[in-house]
Structure 1
Amino acid sequence: MNKDLIINALQKVREQKPLVVNITNFVVMNNTANALLAVGASPIMSHSKQEMAEMMSFAGALVINIGTLDSVWRPGMFFAVEQANDNNKPVVLDPVGCGATKLRTSTARQLAELADNLIIRGNASEIIAMAGEKSQNKGVDALDSSEAALSAARALVDAYDCCVVISGETDYVVTKASTHALNNGHEMMPFVTGMGCSLSAVTGAFAAVGETTGLAATAIFAIAGEIGAEQSKGPGSLQMNLLDALYQLDDQEVLRRLNIQEC
């Protein structure tokens, strides 16, 4: 059943080519736009309040990444979520560095509270901090295991009526109905900046076609990373090869590689 969901969602993304609006950080704009294009979606990077109402009327989903917060972008993020709500569009929240500063933590929680149709995608330390538990982070890097964040993820699911994706050596996808562990990907992936941010953007593409759990996007991205790493000498070539793998990924390869368990 899960395999069918993942395959069907990938086909829908490639057929429908949904427009995904990204308010994301300066570091990863190019990476995330290319990941969306490679998987079959259409990216737009926009943070202007002046066009956001119009943008969300025809876009498929909104992705908000708080990696480079400032006094201009922050109110624009709240306005964008309001427009997504008004147009019944899903919101993917990437709480980058949540727990590192009070500003990041409070902003992530306020955005989550505001969003009607929400997926949270973060690393273990970000998820733990967002739930109000004590996390171990170093800037935007996680020092907690993804398994250690499961109770925090479930608390967030209950608090915000959302789905949560925990990225790590094992990825976990937590919804009200189920928890799945995904053991794809590669140990080299954390050495490329913006990997998690790119997954958040791709999660927006899948949400735009109706797969709002985060499961399909997480599986597809991890499998692409696994394939890309097998062809790479290091992080530089991995970034390129992952995009190629996303673009070339077919149903048979997904089925062959998918390593998923229900917890």
Structure 2
Amino acid sequence: MVDNLWSLIQTLRHTNPLILNMTNQVVMNTTANALLAVGASPIMAHEESEIQALTTQADSLVINIGTLDKLLVESMRLALQQAHSSHKPWVLDPVGVGASSYRTETVQSLLQFSPSVIRGNATEIRSLSADKAVLSKGVDSLHRSDEALNTAKMVSLKYAAVVAISGATDYIIDGERIVRIENGDPMMRLVTGLGCTATALIGAFIARSSTVFESTIAAVALLSVVGELVAKRAEGPASLQLLIHDKLYNITEQEFKDHLKIVVG
């Protein structure tokens, strides 16, 4: 599998897919730079009058609800209608779902457009279960990644989507298939928007791939390995963010394969 993951990284670098990001105001710059670093071409847009045309041009969509408003939600629905009709892959980041009824209702409406991938922290993934209320702390996770596994399996089967759970250990679930990534560094929690970066990278990897599960694994693995590699050189969260972008750009095959800690099943 490791060879296949590296092949997906190389393919992304050479194919330059166009990724339409309807993301939150906090992370637009860092998200765009991360996508450029791995070889994708980002476009950041949300205006209702152009969003369907841009969706048609894009290879995939990233939908991130971090900073919601009613106009943005309506544009997201228009984009997803177009994506659904033209079979475009898309990834949903349900940031802070469960923190308010508005977020929860918005996510439930977006899920009807059949996301290819859903990525969130453990609390966000647990909050996708309609039969339970989950205590949340804004956009922060209050649960370990493994505590969301049962919900992730259920959500994956219900929506026929790959589910990625981010945390100290990352999990990627496709129905009954589970992969665990044991890379990363605790300091990554102190950099705002790294989860959003993971979602954007997933959007890039699934853009021109027929293997959504492996493409999601490749995206999550790449960011986790990169974070672990550069954390030892970072003086703090600010320099860590910059070093992550550099290493996304220049990571070598040997670095990736030597440091990846992956468990299948």
SS of equivalent residue, structure 2 residue 186: coil
1:34 to 2:49 alignment:
no
Equivalent in the alignment of 2:119: 121
Assess if the C-alpha contact under 8 Å between 1:112 and 1:118 holds in 2.
Answer: no
SS of equivalent residue, structure 1 residue 147: helix
Equivalent in the alignment of 1:73: 72
Amino acid in structure 2 at the alignment position of 1:209: R
Equivalent in the alignment of 1:92: 91
Deviation, structure 1 residue 111: 0.8
Amino acid in structure 2 at the alignment position of 1:68: T
What are structure 2's unaligned runs of at least 5 residues?
none
Pick the aligned partner of 2:248 from 238, 241, 246.
246
Assess if the C-alpha contact under 8 Å between 1:82 and 1:114 holds in 2.
Answer: yes
Equivalent in the alignment of 1:174: 173
Deviation, structure 1 residue 260: 0.5
Amino acid in structure 1 at the alignment position of 2:238: G
Deviation, structure 1 residue 56: 1.8
Assess if the C-alpha contact under 8 Å between 2:154 and 2:175 holds in 1.
Answer: no
1:110-259 maps to which residues of 2 (within 5 A)?
110-115=109-114, 117-132=115-130, 133-210=132-209, 211-213=211-213, 214-259=216-261
Length, aligned pairs only: 261
1:178 and 1:27 mapped to 2: Cα distance? 33
Deviation, structure 1 residue 109: 1.8
Equivalent in the alignment of 1:15: 14
Assess if the C-alpha contact under 8 Å between 1:228 and 1:244 holds in 2.
Answer: no
SS of equivalent residue, structure 1 residue 233: coil
SS of equivalent residue, structure 1 residue 138: coil
What are structure 1's unaligned runs of at least 5 residues?
none
Deviation, structure 1 residue 137: 2.1
1:67-118 CA distance string (max 9 Å, x none):
1111100111111111111221111000000110111111112211212x52
2:55 and 2:156 mapped to 1: Cα distance? 25
2:85 and 2:197 mapped to 1: Cα distance? 26
Equivalent in the alignment of 1:59: 58
2:220 and 2:155 mapped to 1: Cα distance? 18
Amino acid in structure 1 at the alignment position of 2:58: A
Q: CA RMSD in A?
A: 1.1
Deviation, structure 1 residue 177: 4.9
2:50 and 2:163 mapped to 1: Cα distance? 29
Assess if the C-alpha contact under 8 Å between 1:136 and 1:144 holds in 2.
Answer: no
1:59 and 1:85 mapped to 2: Cα distance? 13
Assess if the C-alpha contact under 8 Å between 1:188 and 1:235 holds in 2.
Answer: yes
TM-score (norm 2): 0.96
User: Is the deviation greater in 22-31 or in 129-138?
Assistant: 129-138
Amino acid in structure 2 at the alignment position of 1:126: E
1:259 and 1:15 mapped to 2: Cα distance? 25
Deviation, structure 1 residue 26: 0.4
SS of equivalent residue, structure 2 residue 97: coil
2:189 and 2:133 mapped to 1: Cα distance? 22
SS of equivalent residue, structure 2 residue 70: coil
Deviation, structure 1 residue 189: 0.4
SS of equivalent residue, structure 1 residue 141: coil
TM-score (norm 1): 0.96
